[in-house]
Structure 1
Amino acid sequence: MAALLRFILTQKLFVLALTALVIALAVQAWQRLPIDAFPDISPTQVKLIIRAPGMTTAEVEAQITQPIETELLGIPDQSILRSTTKYGITSITIDFTEGTDIYWARQQVSERLAGVWGSLPDIAEGGLAPMSTPLSEIFMFSYNNPNLSLTERRHVLDWQIRPLLRTVPGVAEVATMGGYVQTYEFAPDLVRLQQAGISLEHLISWLQQQHMNGSVGRINSGTNTLVIRTEGKLTDAFDLSQLTIADANGNPITLAQLGEVSLGHLARFGGVTHNGKETAQAMIIALKGANTSEVVAAVKAKLDQISVTLPEGSELNVFYDRATLIETAVSTILEALFAAVLLVIVVLFIFLADVRAALVVAVAIPLAVAITFLAMDQVGLTANLMSLGGIVIAIGMLVDAAVVVVENIVSQGQQLRHAPVAHRVYRATLAVAKPVIAGTAIVIIVFAPLLMLTGLEGKLFSPVAMTIVFAMLASLVIALCVIPVLAVSLIKMSDKSAPKFLQWLLQRYQHALTKVIQRPAPWLIMALLLVMGTGLTASFVGKTFMPVMDEGDLIVQLEKHPDVSLSESLAVDSQISQRLLRDVAEIKQIVARIGSDELGMDPMGLNETDMFMQLHPATTWQVSSKEALTEKIRTILQEYPGINFNFTQPIQMRVSEMLTGTSGDVAVKVFGDDVATLSHLAQSIAHTTEQMSGSVDVQTTIIDGGEFVNVRLLPEIAARYQLTTEELSRRLRIFVDGLQVGEITNGKIKTPLLFSSSQQPNQVSYLEQLATLPISLPNGSVVALASVATIETQFGPSLIERENGSRFAVVTSNVSGRDIVSFVEELKQQVGQAVSLPSGYTIEYGGEFENQARATNNLLMIVPLVLLVIVLILFTTFRSLAIAGLVYANIPFALMGGVLALFISGEYLSVPASVGFIALLGVAVLNGVVMLSHFQSIEERYNDIKELVIAGAGDRLRAILMTATTAMLGLIPLALATGPGAEIQRPLAIVVIGGLITSTLTTLFLLPLMYARLRGRHDRT
């Protein structure tokens, strides 16, 4: 160390030039850093979406979901396999272990899917979903235009807006929804077909063969080569109506003579309302790993270009913009960062009473932050709520090393006033180098094990730990390499005394310390009682996994009876939206999304709604808080019978679904085989949950009670007319959803071509009407459906959820007014007493509680490791287990302050608070190292141990107060911040501030007392 210091002080210009270069590189690094609200917390995940139009839930599960799951369960590195099966669709999600390459995972799933695809029903279609994450829904807008019909609005979205947005870099998919997808439809007249002697099957096959272009080859024409092709592609309804087919006698007859050609629409899987009125919407899904801010900015720029080309009266109404959340969350952290820097600098000026010395110490902050940005760029960290929060947490500690160095330089300058300036700086820096290195190493080692956290907490707090480690390493280098160079040039070595307030404070402190040392017993007993009392207080502090971040807006998830029609579901949502807009002034607009889009990206049923509520600024609210607003909305929703609802937020909803397959603070899953039994057990658990204190929005998804119409072909009819069940299904589909036989292309626009009934799709709603439907037999005759098949209603599952190959039902609940851990512990007891499980059925508890339990287990392994490493460093520094034990005595008192701070503030013990306690280990030990290392360095000057302790403690009073005050003030802006994201960092800041207060008092009073007693015994021995 001595050689390095001599080199630095003789090569000052080189050091300053290198510092300037680092600053320049750091500025470029900051400009390159991707900015997001959160770190990427999504696992390596592959999603399959398989559609099977017309198949019931049970059929989709048996014929599609189960065969695919059986094939997928053997893929290596798979962590969990979930599926959700509903009418006509199944969504299968495969999560892989951390670190699995996404391209390898998709390839494995694709190969397994290809292997099983041949055994699936011919009607199955779909495959791998776009390469996105559960948090990739970054931008949503509705398209409103009173001059256009819902069909025309959807047409503009699908063919004018969507194709251009898909060209934006970083966009994986643009999912459109709502309105009507236009079709060309031919409704055959079965009587005319019979008269013409044309069977329905022959007409469909003939049309598919006519509606195509063919390639022939090339011929030579002189010196040129001409390509020959046949053209039969249709371009519009007129082309379709004029297609000519031969009847049984060979006479030409057009389609217009055999039925009706018209414009129609596809059967709808969902709909969208904006403030209670139907409309259409688009959702931008970002590619996995894309820079969210850049993608959203590019999408907005593209929309600006598109908007000038849209029909008159068009309005693109943005109701969800992830970039807004990113900006507000990052602004919250940056404001706290700037406020922390300002407060720390003010403290430096006050304590040092020397503008130049204060500036030298203050330089450590921007330099350390700059080097941290440079390191973040090199390792690929994004600038987000957590990584920037790590820098804010470190701000107060960044100057600790510089404070100790500069404070000792100033002190040595007064003692060695006749020596050369460089020599005095050299001597002063070298004297504190060892404890500074040891103290910084301890802080780094305290935070480094956080990199061992797994799951969601690991992905959230690893960036925090990394930025703190980067910043502390940078601060150490700056303190020992840059600060001495600046001190030589800027700090005036005078015999100027300390500020008067510090002199006064020193006198009072040494007087109080003298009394403590003279009568140690009462103080030690009181300290022990305080620690014991705090242990009792800790039992009253609730536990939870993570504070809920206020994302700004709300989502209310509604669930109605599974048999509700789309039109009724839309009507109910419109009614609720208009009521909420009328009675809740805080709501700016509501966009309700019912069911799913045609891609099936989020396969909800027609009875399910995600109601996005964009809110006015909180400063304009009539209620006092978000909780009060939620309660106000809940009171209104409770007036609508038969509707289950749950409150969540856009990111919160997707994170919950990603981790547990469902949303809610607590999820209780019942596993078993029989759907009816699962439903009964889930209802019993839901009833028990509703009776508990703190439970709100208790919800169990309705999995049974779906009503289906079963049409069974009569065996004798099948044999007589050679009519198969598949052929009957095709004929019936014409009368219900319509039978798609191709697409009509006009330029870039592709319009589905359907065979449909003159009765519009979905109008067949009663058994009597169904029974009289005309069915064309293979011989051309037409009979009523009732004459060839039995028709009966039956009940079956409307939803089947599976996890790792097993069916389950789930009960979810949010928790209000109490901590999640105690809630779940009580819930386990209540469910165990009230619900009797049949053989083969099991219960699992998940949600936030599951995450909290895993995080606790991880921390219980990490903390002992940290304590062990600290012991090794202390022993290396002091060469004495007794002295190391004295430093360790600081830790319980630091933890005591953290617990009291949590209790007083009403915060729960969460992962951020636990990280705060880990941080306290380093801070508490650091102060002890500074104090005790100084005692050892001046032992030779004093014969009386009490005089040594009082004098030595007085020497380090300013340094300890400066480091403690800067650390506390650096965290106060984070503790008081109110913007989005502050909720996550606040418990950490509160714990550290409380712990610093008690730890500083311990360092200043109990530590000198215990050192005096230890050395006194040693001397007597």
Structure 2
Amino acid sequence: MNIAGLSIRRPVTTVMVVLIVLILGFVSLTRLNVDLLPSINLPVMVVSVQYSGAGPEEVESIVTRNIESVLATVSNLESMRSTSSEGSSLVILEFAQDTDMDVAALEVREKLDMIRGMLPDGVSDPIVLKLDPNMLPIMSFAVSQEGKTDEELQVWVEDVLKPRIERIEGVASVSILGAKQTEVKVIVDPEKLISYGLSMDRVVSALRAENLNMPGGVVQDGQYDLLVRVSGQFKSLDELLDVPVVSSTGTTYLLRDLARVEKGVRDDRQYSRVNQHDSLSISVYKESTANTVRVAEKVNREIESIKKSYPDISVMTIVDQSKFIKSSISAVTSNAYIGAILAIAILFIFLKNITPTMVIAVSIPFSVISTFVLLYFSGITLNIISLGGLALGVGMMVDNSIVALENIYRMREEGLSPIDAAEKGTNEISMAIVASTLTTVCVFLPIVFTRGMTAEIFRELSITVTFSLLASLVVALTLVPMLASKLVTRQGFSKKNVTVERVTEKYRRMLEWALEHRKTVVLITAVVFGMSIVLLPLVGVEYFPTVDQGQIEIEVRLPRGSSFGETLEAVQRVEKMVSEIPEVEMVWASIGGQQLNVGMGVSARDQGSITAVLKPVGQRDRTTQQVGEEIRQKVKDIAGCQIQVNTGGGFAGLGSGMMGPPISISIKGQDLDVLRKISDDIVRVVSSVPGTREVRSSFEEGRPELRIIIDRQRASQYGLNVALVSSAVQSHLQGVVATRYKEESTEIDVRVQLPDDGVFKVQDVENVMVTSPLGISVPLKSVARFEYAQGPVRIERHDQSRMVTVSGDYEGRNFGEVIEDIQERLDDYPLPEGYFIEYGGEQEQLSEAFGDLRLVLVLGVTLVYMIMASQFESLVHPFTVMFTVPLAFTGGLLGLLIAGKPLSVPAFLGFIMLVGIVVNNGIVLVDYINRLREGNADLKLAIVQAGATRLRPVLMTSLTTILGLLPLALGLGESSELQVPLAVTVMSGLTLSTFLTLVVVPVIYSLIDDFGRWFGRKLRAL
């Protein structure tokens, strides 16, 4: 079908189609979801089981191993990890990337049902949870008010702020950190308890028995059936005081005779401060399908409305993901604009006329806007990856139009009419530009064979680049010839460009020299390619570039069992140090919050966390990593606690808890003591490697505990058993929740406890009075002995084998150098029989990603060759063009070395893109040589004429692509670190290959032609 001719002869129809596409593009742009990253499917599932009172070793043997044995047969399961800690078993399942997690969750639950009867009493039902990035809050606020008590502020937050945010569309939940839980305290007088012959259990039982509403049945009253209900729930706190408590001798006492009742707050020992001021911290979680930016905008509008209604309340934003997203999107968009302007400027410099420049430049906005239509219907969000694809392709969008328009003008010079020149010129070059576009597009197709984070992230970039280039091809074959036939006169290209003419003449002489000295050219080419082997070790490797997110997470850990006061003192000390750093804008400190990395929502009193929010990138001179290094130096001398500083440099949008530490070394074996010794040795080895930071072992010192060993024989003499003793100890130390008191629309706990006169000491435990059912009270030390003990805090397992992990971070060196030094030093470490080391973390991710990308590269090269073979109808000429690929690789590595960027996943993707890009110039050049030779032109004359004729479009297409990538390569704006390695690789690779292609491809063409003739003569001689 003659598409060009149809668009030329029906210009109104062509314009209307263009307008329709533009309108659809603008509508699609307004409806596209905006996010930081593509939607990432984490094929990870968590199974959590509680076994109260059991130690880590009991949990491992009784619960964890049973769960692991039955879940090992789940479909698509790739890895299984578990953590057995006191009273808790946590099993993490990692599935293949394309697994349907809903189906997997059903299968996991079915498997768990099979062993439910095998687990002992006291083991809770397993909780199955799919891990999702949406589990992280999108926003956090600090709420405070002068002159209002903590209780009053909490009531306002729970009754006003929280409901107003929760009802916003897209908000899934709102959590409050630092809130005090209200409860009713029944404070029993211990002396009266003993003198009356009562026990705490009798008080608890009495309250539970009295606070009930129970159905009694149905009675008939005339023609009506009446429901009978016994109503005994407490209506007021005074009713609690009138509850009768019966002693073992049958004497009845009222609760008011031995206790007092008051309303207070539960001692949760939580702490939350922002900028060293006490506050409540509010975290907002979005629904999984909701858009982060839109939800955040609605929440911010609601917060502003609340501030106007309650001007005395201070609501300060701690974290707002939407700000980073919008600044990142804005930076990528600005880079695309600048790239497009530079590309158009190059066109004007070469063409010296505004009309043909605009005809070519129209392909940029049309390609971009039409891409939005395809993105919308593909379900792709507008994020830094998809927009990065547009920014990467903005310089390539004009390549096809340049070649088409340049050929149209050549036809005009031959005397053809505007319409005939536009039609013939486009048709003559159409197969070449189709082939060159397909070579660029096809290198992205094999990405569907990749797995993991690489596929999740860069599949959208591939689709975006493909859409934009296909749109630019349609423009070059339809809109450009139509506009050329109407707008571009012969004078459009007739202005002499002295610079281009001089360059063309010099190139002609250089090409003639190269054809006379082909051995020298081949030798130089071989030397240039040989540089790749030298450059690769110098460049280094890493998984993903470090991203400056402007946020630093500091974890403060004290020895197990440390008191809340000790933890508070350490956290406040670190908090003050961090606040003094000039780049820090806000400091949020918390203790006792619900921390996912502690164990599925279990609070920890011996550790705290501090979040330091830095000023925007433009308002500070140092990066997040540099500020984080200063914090490390400041806090390293704080004795008695471990402090870990995470600069969030792994990958934007995902917390360190999701991605894991960069350095991760697993030691597997069975004996915990041996594993501990090996891990301690490896910690020392890894810490000695330059560039490593915060190296630690997952084997923690056991939490000290006081064990009460009951003398069963003596206890039985008093009518006591282990259950009674345990209940008495718990009642005395932390109280017992006896029932719940309904107040308005909420229910609060009723806790029976002794007077809280301070911290309990060991002597207090020894003197706890235990009352038997016979009414006899004896001190605990009379029926038990006490001993100090210490066991493992947790036991980790990987694929049903015990494991200890040594983890850490790195700074100042690229990851490849650090891990190479670690492996070299650990190769000589003598491991006992039955114990072995595995490298995980970034090393595991890097190996998997590079393995997949190598497959993509090989498949991409193969597809490019096949397309060129179809274009040239030859199996030999594609090899001529493919010689440019190794030269591009050398240029890419040289660019990374100069820019100081290691070889990462984005850079590797840049090399894959180069395979499809660098052959385009060779295709156009070889295609024209073949056309001239079809007219019986001499080989050397055909090569020189084709080179001189195609020099201008080759330089124009290359320079527009290179300069279009320049803003991305400079790394301007937020989150630009992700695109810099890719842009640098493509820019430098294309730069070197372009200049060498103009010489090497003609030389190789002539050599292959000579070889073909020589081989033909040999065959004929036979």
TM-score by length of 1: 0.92
Which residue of structure 2 lines up, in the alignment, with residue 927 of structure 1?
921
Q: How does 1:273-288 map to 2 (within 5 A)?
A: 273-288=273-288
Which residue of structure 1 lines up, in the alignment, with residue 890 of structure 2?
896
Q: Quick check: 1:701–1:810 contact (8 Å CA) kept in 2?
A: yes
How many Å apart are 1:864 and its aligned residue? 1.7
Which residue of structure 2 lines up, in the alignment, with residue 555 of structure 1?
553
Q: Quick check: 1:340–1:969 contact (8 Å CA) kept in 2?
A: yes
Q: How does 1:800-819 map to 2 (within 5 A)?
A: 800-819=795-814
Aligned to 2:876, what secondary structure does the other structure show?
helix
Which residue of structure 2 lines up, in the alignment, with residue 672 of structure 1?
669
Offset from partner CA, 1:202-230 (integer Å, 9 cap, x none) = 43233223223234567788898876544
Q: Quick check: 1:147–1:313 contact (8 Å CA) kept in 2?
A: no
Distance 1:79 1:731, change over 3 A: farther
Q: How does 1:760-775 map to 2 (within 5 A)?
A: 763-764=759-760, 766-775=761-770
Distance 2:861 2:679 in 1: 45
Does 2:486 correspond to 1:492? no
- Work out which of the residue numbers 578, 581, 597 in structure 2 matches 1:580: 578
- Percent identity over the alignment is 24
Distance 2:162 2:600 in 1: 16
Distance 1:251 1:695, change over 3 A: closer
Amino acid aligned to 2:727: R
How many Å apart are 1:753 and its aligned residue? 1.8
Does 2:656 correspond to 1:684? no
How many Å apart are 1:715 and its aligned residue? 0.9
Which residue of structure 1 lines up, in the alignment, with residue 231 of structure 2?
231
Aligned to 1:99, what secondary structure does the other structure show?
coil
Offset from partner CA, 1:704-747 (integer Å, 9 cap, x none) = 33211111221114433443323322222222332223322222
- Work out which of the residue numbers 973, 982, 985 in structure 2 matches 1:979: 973
Distance 1:57 1:372 in 2: 55
Identify the range of structure 1 (921-930 vs 115-124) with the bigger mean alpha-carbon deviation.
115-124
Q: How does 1:732-811 map to 2 (within 5 A)?
A: 732-759=729-756, 763-764=759-760, 766-811=761-806
How many Å apart are 1:473 and its aligned residue? 1.7
Does 2:74 correspond to 1:80? no
Q: Quick check: 1:542–1:818 contact (8 Å CA) kept in 2?
A: no
Offset from partner CA, 1:659-697 (integer Å, 9 cap, x none) = 66xx42211112233333322221111101111122122
Which residue of structure 2 lines up, in the alignment, with residue 564 of structure 1?
562
- Work out which of the residue numbers 954, 964, 967 in structure 2 matches 1:960: 954
Q: How does 1:49-448 map to 2 (within 5 A)?
A: 49-51=48-50, 56-62=55-61, 64-113=63-112, 119=119, 121-122=121-122, 124=124, 127-128=127-128, 132-133=132-133, 136-150=136-150, 152-158=152-158, 160-193=160-193, 196=196, 198-216=198-216, 229-234=229-234, 237-245=237-245, 253-268=253-268, 271-306=271-306, 313-417=312-416, 419=417, 421-448=418-445
Q: Quick check: 2:588–2:610 contact (8 Å CA) kept in 1?
A: yes
Which residue of structure 2 lines up, in the alignment, with residue 851 of structure 1?
845
Which residue of structure 2 lines up, in the alignment, with residue 32 of structure 1?
31
Which residue of structure 1 lines up, in the alignment, with residue 1020 of structure 2?
none
Distance 1:86 1:315, change over 3 A: farther
Aligned to 2:335, what secondary structure does the other structure show?
helix
Distance 1:250 1:451, change over 3 A: same
Distance 2:542 2:678 in 1: 27
Amino acid aligned to 1:945: L
Distance 1:818 1:409 in 2: 53
Q: Quick check: 2:293–2:322 contact (8 Å CA) kept in 1?
A: yes
Which residue of structure 1 lines up, in the alignment, with residue 1000 of structure 2?
1006
Distance 2:619 2:97 in 1: 44
Q: Quick check: 2:166–2:174 contact (8 Å CA) kept in 1?
A: yes
Distance 1:860 1:636, change over 3 A: same
Q: Quick check: 1:143–1:315 contact (8 Å CA) kept in 2?
A: yes
Amino acid aligned to 2:441: I
Q: Quick check: 2:531–2:890 contact (8 Å CA) kept in 1?
A: no
Distance 2:83 2:309 in 1: 40
Q: Matched residue pairs, number?
A: 1010
Distance 1:71 1:755 in 2: 42
Distance 1:235 1:680, change over 3 A: farther
Q: Quick check: 1:213–1:233 contact (8 Å CA) kept in 2?
A: yes
How many Å apart are 1:546 and its aligned residue? 0.9
Aligned to 1:956, what secondary structure does the other structure show?
helix
Q: Quick check: 1:139–1:283 contact (8 Å CA) kept in 2?
A: yes
Which residue of structure 2 lines up, in the alignment, with residue 708 of structure 1?
705
Distance 1:216 1:649 in 2: 62
Distance 1:156 1:839 in 2: 62
Distance 1:145 1:597, change over 3 A: farther
Amino acid aligned to 1:857: G
Identify the range of structure 1 (182-191 vs 391-400) with the bigger mean alpha-carbon deviation.
182-191
Distance 1:75 1:535, change over 3 A: closer
Amino acid aligned to 1:402: S
How many Å apart are 1:176 and its aligned residue? 2.7
Which residue of structure 1 lines up, in the alignment, with residue 817 of structure 2?
822
How many Å apart are 1:929 and its aligned residue? 0.1
Amino acid aligned to 1:763: V
How many Å apart are 1:463 and its aligned residue? 1.2
How many Å apart are 1:172 and its aligned residue? 3.7
Amino acid aligned to 2:638: Y
Q: Quick check: 1:131–1:172 contact (8 Å CA) kept in 2?
A: no
Amino acid aligned to 1:508: K
Aligned to 2:455, what secondary structure does the other structure show?
helix
Distance 1:605 1:540, change over 3 A: same
Distance 2:858 2:562 in 1: 56
Amino acid aligned to 2:295: V
Distance 1:157 1:807 in 2: 45
Identify the range of structure 1 (92-101 vs 119-128) with the bigger mean alpha-carbon deviation.
119-128
Distance 1:604 1:416, change over 3 A: farther
Aligned to 1:907, what secondary structure does the other structure show?
coil
Distance 1:841 1:269 in 2: 42
How many Å apart are 1:649 and its aligned residue? 4.1
Distance 1:546 1:413 in 2: 51
Aligned to 2:805, what secondary structure does the other structure show?
strand
Distance 1:886 1:130 in 2: 52
How many Å apart are 1:592 and its aligned residue? 2.2
Distance 1:305 1:83 in 2: 46
Distance 2:125 2:733 in 1: 19
Which residue of structure 2 lines up, in the alignment, with residue 506 of structure 1?
504
How many Å apart are 1:358 and its aligned residue? 1.7
Distance 1:164 1:726 in 2: 46
Q: Quick check: 2:625–2:649 contact (8 Å CA) kept in 1?
A: no
How many Å apart are 1:479 and its aligned residue? 1.7
Distance 1:204 1:83 in 2: 38
**Structure 1, unpaired ranges of 5+:** none
Distance 1:55 1:789, change over 3 A: same
Distance 1:697 1:676 in 2: 23
**Structure 2, unpaired ranges of 5+:** 1018-1022
Distance 2:320 2:637 in 1: 31
- Work out which of the residue numbers 501, 520, 523 in structure 1 matches 2:521: 523
Aligned to 2:643, what secondary structure does the other structure show?
strand
Aligned to 2:394, what secondary structure does the other structure show?
helix
Distance 1:597 1:164, change over 3 A: farther
How many Å apart are 1:578 and its aligned residue? 0.9
Offset from partner CA, 1:526-557 (integer Å, 9 cap, x none) = 23222223421222110111111111111122
RMSD: 3.0
Q: Quick check: 2:143–2:314 contact (8 Å CA) kept in 1?
A: yes
